[in-house]
């Protein structure tokens, strides 16, 4: 238990601050020390404790203005002691700190009344900002809520990377509000799962959660599918019909691929968000609606706005909070915990417990263009192949070639996807001013050198054998190797 005061004076940046008493409860002396230095510099008094029990005694005696509480403490943990700290300190804000949180910890902290959630290791500037905000709030403002819900089963969102910790923190803080949330990230990064988690931890959790992919709806009827229509609105509309927003009344709508929403629908959505109402197609009477909107995209919406394909006002209205999920290749720290999670989900505990570092290292080498979805499918495949023994890299299917497809397929099946991914931007460009006129030659040039090198490597550099395997004339092979500048050394390594 320590107590370090500071004279009433301007802080290092020349600002005078109201002198407050801050209690830091953490069994890591370095954390206590860092806060002590930072806060005394700002003119505050810092008292520290290394366990919840010791901290509560201090809180009762000193009634601190702010408590910084670690989750992992020697006896009682921070989350369970949290309401006691709020009560004992007379309603002061409590900032919860954790090194390896999961979504449940973040949500439990917020539900139990934490005013903020700091993920270790944190930047001192962030910690300073969070403390300042907490100290500027009134003692009465942090209302503890003692409901702790658990994410369970298949839909659990897991991850240990700083990016996932940040996502957990954002989900926990935003869930209770009715704010719209924009969730971005490549395909398969878990956007839908984040949407479901926000709903599950919100006050709407007993109501409908409706994930909708407008791109999957009939293009001519998207508006009617979403908002309904009245009889006679268009040919075939022979009766009034409600839309998906009607079905989601009171609940949450998760709009996938928001970047592809037609302009007419964007206008209607903006009205829902701004005024809480919409018109059925062909109707003139607005209908009230109480639906929380979560939106996801893997497109760059700024680019879509620049190209006039996405409304700026809708973007700002939707992105009340923005959660970005980086691609798996940028958070490889999550590989082990995800593999374990998927194996446990399959009921394969022995494989989950025996995951080797060697395997995780080998998996880290892969590009994971299909992100967590690809990993989940790959683990499932490997578990089937391994039939109960520990997994090795050979049990896994080959890495996916293209960026476009989320599902793991055989190389033969994924090749057309890779070609489609290669073609799409070039054919799109064709629609613009600068069409490519050498598509066939460009594609062949992109894939042929790999084919030649691998075949030569398989035939130990024998050009005659390689030509035979390739089914082309030796002279043709020689010509192609010359054309691509491939020599025998090239063919002995790399692609
Ligand atoms: N952090 C995570 N923890 C556990 N499972 C995850 C995680 N992220 C993704 N998954 C799993 O990966 C798969 C893909 O996730 P999800 O559908 O949420 O991705 P998405 O970003 O919405 O993809 P798309 O853009 O293609 O719709 C799902 O099976 C989901 O359960």
Domains of the chain: which residue ranges? 2-141, 158-324, 328-412, 438-492
| Closest protein CA for atom 31 of ligand 1 | 155
| Alpha carbons 201 and 103: distance in angstroms, whole number | 10
372 lines ligand 1 (CB under 6 A): yes
The CATH superfamily holding the domain 438-492 is: Homeodomain-like (1.10.10.60)
406 lines ligand 1 (CB under 6 A): yes
Q: Are 237 and 282 in contact (CB under 8 A)?
A: yes
Name the pairing type of β-strands 45-49 and 21-25: parallel
Helix residue ranges per DSSP H, 365-410: 371-386
| Closest protein CA for atom 25 of ligand 1 | 187
Q: E strand or H helix at 277, and its extent? A: strand 277-278
3-class secondary-structure state, position 111? helix
3-class secondary-structure state, position 68? strand
Ligand 1 atom closest to Cα of residue 341 = 4
55 lines ligand 1 (CB under 6 A): no
341 lines ligand 1 (CB under 6 A): yes
| Closest protein CA for atom 13 of ligand 1 | 373
93 lines ligand 1 (CB under 6 A): no
Angle between helices 439-458 and 411-431 (to 10 degrees): 150
190 lines ligand 1 (CB under 6 A): yes
Ligand 1 atom closest to Cα of residue 213 = 27
CA of 393 relative to ligand 1 center, distance in Å: 22
Best CATH choice for the domain 158-324 from the list 3.30.360.10, 3.90.1170.50, 3.40.50.300, 3.90.550.10: 3.40.50.300
CA of 272 relative to ligand 1 center, distance in Å: 27
3-class secondary-structure state, position 368? coil
297 lines ligand 1 (CB under 6 A): no
Best CATH choice for the domain 328-412 from the list 3.40.50.1110, 1.10.8.60, 1.20.140.10, 3.30.360.10: 1.10.8.60
| Alpha carbons 217 and 221: distance in angstroms, whole number | 7
Strand partners, 445: none
CA of 188 relative to ligand 1 center, distance in Å: 5
| Closest protein CA for atom 2 of ligand 1 | 157
Predicted structure pTM score: 0.63
158 lines ligand 1 (CB under 6 A): yes
373 lines ligand 1 (CB under 6 A): yes
Residues in the chain: 495
188 lines ligand 1 (CB under 6 A): yes
| Closest protein CA for atom 24 of ligand 1 | 187
Q: Which of 104, 266, 311, 302 is nearest to 200 (CA)?
A: 104
> Do 2-141 and 328-412 fold alike per CATH?
no
298 lines ligand 1 (CB under 6 A): yes
- Each residue's pLDDT, cut to its tens digit, for the chain (495 residues) gives 555 554 444 443 334 346 788 999 999 888 888 898 888 888 888 999 999 999 998 888 788 889 999 999 998 999 999 999 988 888 889 999 988 778 888 888 888 888 888 888 888 888 888 888 888 764 433 333 222 223 334 578 999 898 999 999 999 999 988 999 999 999 999 999 999 999 999 999 999 999 888 877 776 788 888 999 998 888 888 888 888 899 899 999 999 999 989 888 899 999 999 999 999 999 989 999 999 999 999 988 999 999 999 999 999 999 888 999 999 999 999 999 999 999 998 888 899 999 999 999 999 999 999 999 999 999 999 998 888 889 999 999 888 765 444 443 444 555 666 676 676 667 765 555 666 777 788 788 878 888 888 888 888 888 888 998 998 888 888 888 888 878 765 655 544
pLDDT computed for residue 11 by the predictor: 40
The CATH superfamily holding the domain 2-141 is: Response regulator (3.40.50.2300)
pLDDT computed for residue 365 by the predictor: 92
Ligand 1 atom closest to Cα of residue 196 = 18
CA of 193 relative to ligand 1 center, distance in Å: 6
Task: Please give the structure tokens belonging to residue 370.
Answer: 């299909």
340 lines ligand 1 (CB under 6 A): no
pLDDT computed for residue 398 by the predictor: 85
Residue 475, CB half-sphere, CA atoms under 13 Å: how many?
A: 0
Nearest-5° Cα angle at 445, 443 to 446? 65
Ramachandran category for residue 296: left, alpha or beta (phi over 0 → left; psi -120 to 50 → alpha): beta
pLDDT computed for residue 480 by the predictor: 87
157 lines ligand 1 (CB under 6 A): yes
pLDDT computed for residue 152 by the predictor: 37
CA of 55 relative to ligand 1 center, distance in Å: 40
Ligand 1 atom closest to Cα of residue 154 = 31
């Amino acid at each position: 238990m320590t107590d370090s005061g500071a004279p009433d004076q301007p802080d290092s940046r020349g600002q005078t601050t109201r002198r407050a008493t801050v209690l830091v409860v953490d069994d890591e002396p370095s954390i206590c020390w860092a806060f002590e230095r930072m806060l005394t510099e700002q003119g505050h008094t810092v008292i520290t404790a290394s366990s919840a029990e010791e901290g509560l005694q201090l809180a009762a005696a000193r009634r601190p203005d702010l408590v910084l509480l670690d989750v992992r403490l020697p006896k009682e943990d921070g989350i369970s002691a949290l309401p006691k700290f709020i009560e004992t300190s007379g309603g002061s804000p409590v900032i919860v700190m954790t090194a390896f949180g999961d979504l449940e910890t973040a949500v439990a902290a917020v539900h139990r009344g934490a005013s903020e959630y700091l993920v270790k290791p944190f930047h001192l500037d962030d910690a300073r900002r969070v403390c300042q905000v907490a100290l500027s709030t009134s003692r009465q403002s942090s209302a503890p809520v003692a409901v702790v819900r658990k994410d369970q089963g298949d839909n659990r969102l897991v991850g240990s990377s700083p990016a996932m910790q940040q996502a957990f923190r954002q989900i926990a803080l935003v869930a209770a509000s009715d704010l719209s949330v924009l969730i971005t990230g490549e395909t398969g990064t878990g956007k839908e799962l984040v949407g479901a988690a926000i709903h599950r931890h919100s006050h709407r959790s007993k109501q409908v959660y409706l994930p909708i992919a407008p791109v999957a709806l009939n293009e001519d009827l998207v508006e009617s599918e979403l908002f309904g229509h009245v009889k006679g609105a268009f040919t075939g509309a022979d009766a009034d019909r409600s839309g998906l927003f009607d079905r989601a009344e009171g609940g949450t709508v998760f709009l996938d691929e928001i970047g592809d929403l037609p302009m007419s629908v964007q206008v209607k959505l903006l009205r829902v968000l701004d005024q809480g109402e919409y018109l059925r197609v062909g109707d003139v009477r607005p209908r009230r609606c109480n639906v929380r909107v979560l939106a996801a995209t893997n497109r760059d919406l700024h680019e879509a706005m620049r190209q006039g394909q996405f409304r700026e006002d809708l973007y700002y209205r939707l992105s009340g909070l923005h959660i970005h999920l980086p691609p798996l290749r940028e958070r490889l720290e999550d590989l082990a915990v995800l593999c374990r999670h998927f194996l446990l989900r399959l009921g394969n505990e022995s494989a989950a417990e025996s995951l080797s570092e060697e395997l995780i290292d080998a998996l880290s080498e892969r590009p994971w263009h299909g992100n967590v979805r690809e990993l989940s499918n790959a683990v499932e495949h490997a578990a089937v192949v391994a039939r109960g023994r520990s997994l090795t890299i050979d049990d896994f299917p080959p890495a996916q070639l293209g960026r476009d497809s989320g599902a793991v397929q055989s190389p033969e099946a994924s090749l057309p996807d890779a070609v489609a991914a290669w073609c799409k931007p070039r054919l799109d460009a064709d629609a613009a001013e600068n069409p490519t006129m050498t598509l066939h030659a460009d594609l062949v040039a992109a894939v042929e050198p790999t084919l030649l090198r691998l075949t030569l490597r398989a035939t130990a550099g024998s050009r005659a054998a390689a030509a035979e395997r390739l089914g082309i004339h030796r002279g043709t092979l020689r010509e192609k190797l010359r054309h691509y500048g491939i020599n025998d050394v090239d063919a002995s390594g790399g692609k």
